Amino acid sequence: MPTPSLHTARLRLRAFEDADANDLFELHSSAYVLRYWDSPPWHERVRAEKFITACRQMAQEGTGARLAVDRVSDGAFIGWCTLNRWNPDFRSASLGYCYDDAAWGHGYATEAARALLRWAFDTLDLNRVQAETDTRNVASARVLEKLGFVREGTLREDCVVNGEVSDSWVYGLIRREWQSSAESVPAP
């Protein structure tokens, strides 16, 4: 399935382009942005190029979609969101996202994820979407809960972030819960 191009009132979600490599490297080289991430910050720009290649490969293989997120008002790249680990037999996938710290606190992660989830449930006919977040990342947990995700459990000591062992919360969103939440939440 081709990578979708999605729009909200304030955001444009699109396939990554080669020209995104510098912005992507800047995002993923920030130790502050990645402080709860399950891999260290990037130190080589070539990592951004490999990331973009992996995005294209994921789309070609039909295993997921990773979308760059631009702010409509000024065209600025502010981060990305993804649906990966698609399983057509189980009609499931995983949600993930990463945003520049200047974009935090403006509702962009929720808005972009809502658009991606709408596409996932409507176009891909998914039944379940899962997400995980470091238990220390309260802001990310809030994003998931605003979207209707339910915390289903804790993965104990499942990551080592900057040499520190950490736990993750597992969240799930079921199609029937999304439908009722989507009806009660105005479209962005």
Spatial separation of the C-alpha atoms in residues 185 and 188, rounded to whole Å: 9
**Contacts (Cβ under 8 Å, ≥6 apart) of 12:** 5, 6, 69, 70, 72
Higher pLDDT, 171 or 185: 171
pLDDT (mean) for 139-146:
96
Instruction: Give the predicted TM-score (pTM) of the model.
Output: 0.91
Determine the pLDDT at residue 187. 45
Among 16, 17, 3, residue whose Cα is nearest residue 116: 3
Residue type, 137: N
14, 68 Cβ separation under 8 angstroms: yes
pLDDT digits (tens, 9 = 90+) for 38-86: 888 999 999 999 999 999 999 998 889 999 999 999 999 999 999 999 9
pLDDT of amino acid 2: 67
Residue 83 is inside which H or E element, if any? strand 77-87
Enumerate the domain spans of the chain: 6-184
Partners of 150 in the β-ladder: 172
Predicted pLDDT of residue 1: 59
pLDDT at 183: 55
Q: At what angle do helices 138-146 and 108-123 cross, to 10 degrees?
A: 40
| Cα maximum dimension of the chain | 45
How confident is the model at residue 188, as a pLDDT? 45
- So what's the architecture of 6-184 in CATH? 3-Layer(aba) Sandwich (3.40)
Helix, strand or coil, per DSSP, at residue 132: strand
Reported as a single tens digit per residue, the pLDDT across 172-182 is 999 999 875 65
For residue 85, the SS3 value is strand
Per-residue model confidence as pLDDT tens digits over 109-142: 999 999 999 999 999 999 999 999 999 999 999 9
Tokens at residue 96, please?
């993930």
Query: What's the chain's Rg over C-alpha atoms?
Result: 16
